[in-house]
């Protein structure tokens, strides 16, 4: 699948690997913009809308092998032999799945607040309820949609994040498919060990990367290093962008091949 992308050339060209930024569930290519704005100083950057998100194509299939293939197709479309991949949440899992499909196409890998595990938890039912309430209310503006959502979601940051994908009275993500395929999105099939250094950045307050997942993570990514950002939750890059960028830049420098 040819994903919708936004490409930016490095402001100060170096011989650095291009970076592909991959957003999470309910997101779009704008979500990692805070990282793109910094990293584009010395890296070519490609931001993607994942399938069933943003203005990328729709599909009834929403699983990690399919999403990894989309990323591979994106590399081919941009004629890139390999790239560094930075993915948040669902995007991090899509990047990890790419290590099984085409390990030779990945230079460096950063997963933000996600582990390679089947979570077996439904953390988004409240969000789906709020999205469906907006649909039923037939509202047209973000202001009206926010008022509906506040009845069901008490985290204003989450509401504002979701509203970025509410355009002209329509959601930019494919709600029925995301609901139908949700178990695949929270799920995971283990990948063969990837033998390069990988960086796992996690929010200190987030439940997504904990000691319970350590063994599963190290089995699949034996050279993984973890970096905990204190005082941050799941959207760690939005809450503490400077700290996340410092960790990413250190890793990119230390593990450059």
> What are the b/e assignments for 182-197, b being 16+ CB within 10 Å?
bebbbebeebeebebb
Kindly report, residue by residue over 231-251, the tens digit of the pLDDT. Answer: 999 999 999 999 999 999 999
Average pLDDT (188-198) is 96
Kindly report, residue by residue over 63-73, the tens digit of the pLDDT. Answer: 999 999 999 99
- Give, as one character, the DSSP assignment of residue 150: T
**Position 176 confidence tier, pLDDT thresholds 50, 70, 90:** very high
**Position 257 confidence tier, pLDDT thresholds 50, 70, 90:** low
The answer to whether 217 touches 200, Cβ cutoff 8 Å, is yes
**pLDDT of the residue at 145:** 97
Give 212's contacts (C-beta < 8 A, 6+ positions apart): none
How many angstroms separate the CA atoms of 179 and 182, rounded?
Answer: 5
Q: For residue 88, indicate whether it is catalytic.
A: no
How many angstroms separate the CA atoms of 27 and 108, rounded?
Answer: 23
**Position 155 confidence tier, pLDDT thresholds 50, 70, 90:** confident
Mean pLDDT (the chain) is 95
Annotated catalytic residue within 89, 165, 206, 237: 89
pTM (2 d.p.)? 0.96
Domains of the chain: 5-119+187-254 (3.40.50.1820), 125-173 (no CATH)
Q: For residue 78, indicate whether it is catalytic.
A: no
Kindly report, residue by residue over 4-56, the tens digit of the pLDDT. Answer: 999 999 999 888 999 999 999 999 999 999 999 999 999 999 999 999 999 99
- Give, as one character, the DSSP assignment of residue 77: H
Annotated catalytic residue within 23, 43, 53, 234: 234
Question: Alpha carbon 189 to chain centroid distance?
Answer: 18
The answer to whether 90 touches 50, Cβ cutoff 8 Å, is yes
């Amino acid at each position: 699948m040819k994903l919708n992308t936004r490409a930016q050339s490095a402001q100060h060209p170096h011989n650095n690997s291009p970076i592909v930024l991959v957003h999470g569930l309910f997101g779009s290519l704008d979500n990692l913009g805070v990282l793109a704005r910094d990293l584009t100083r010395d890296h070519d950057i490609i931001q993607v809308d994942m399938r069933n998100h943003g203005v990328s194509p729709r599909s009834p299939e929403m699983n990690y092998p399919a999403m990894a293939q989309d990323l591979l197709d994106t590399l081919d479309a941009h004629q890139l032999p390999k790239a560094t991949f930075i993915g948040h949440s669902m995007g991090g899992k899509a990047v990890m799945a790419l290590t099984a499909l085409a390990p030779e196409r990945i230079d460096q890998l950063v997963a933000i607040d996600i582990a390679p595990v089947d979570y077996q938890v439904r953390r988004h039912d409240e969000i789906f309820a709020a999205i469906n309430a907006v649909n039923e209310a037939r509202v047209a503006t973000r202001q009206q949609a926010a008022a509906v959502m506040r009845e069901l979601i008490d985290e204003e940051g989450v509401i504002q994040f979701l509203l970025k994908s509410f355009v002209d009275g329509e959601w930019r993500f494919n709600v029925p498919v995301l609901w139908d395929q949700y178990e695949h999105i929270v799920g995971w099939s283990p990948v063969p060990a990837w033998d390069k250094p990988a960086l796992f950045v996690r929010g200190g307050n987030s439940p997504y990367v904990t000691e319970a997942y350590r063994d599963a993570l190290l089995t699949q990514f034996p050279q993984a290093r973890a970096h905990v950002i204190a005082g941050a939750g799941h959207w760690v890059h939005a809450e503490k962008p400077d700290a996340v960028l410092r960790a990413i830049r250190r890793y990119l420098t230390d593990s450059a091949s």
